Amino acid sequence: GAVVSQHPSRVICKSGTSVKIECRSLDFQATTMFWYRQFPKQSLMLMATSNEGSKATYEQGVEKDKFLINHASLTLSTLTVTSAHPEDSSFYICSAKGQGSSPLHFGNGTRLTVT
């Protein structure tokens, strides 16, 4: 079946550095991808929606200059956390969807720790 691959699964970085997380659809064309953030014992919160070839739409309260999203192809979206701070430490999950009524598929998430 359809698979969404997210990489890396875990990353530790120092404050002030940038981290890039990749989300790939392996056997379907993902016209839309979604990025979520999940803090411990809390729900998934939608950060942004990205459509291939266009700018991402960010949810209220999410800094677009801090969380850069690029959806340059139908199989790849990237989330770059710029100038990371310890409070950015979280679990980031992407999901991807093809055209029409095709189902939504989730990646396995990336655990980001900023020291």
Q: Which residues bind other proteins (CB under 8 A)?
A: 4, 6, 32, 34, 41-46, 49, 91, 93, 95, 97, 101, 103-104, 106-109, 111
Tokens describing residue 38: 């999940």
Shortest CB 14 distance to other proteins, Å: 22
Nearer to other proteins, 43 or 54 (CB): 43
Task: Report CA-CA distances (Å) from 12 to 25, 44, 53, 97, 114.
Answer: 24, 21, 30, 29, 6
Residue 32: both structure tokens together = 């839309």
C-beta of 48: minimal distance to other proteins in Å?
A: 11
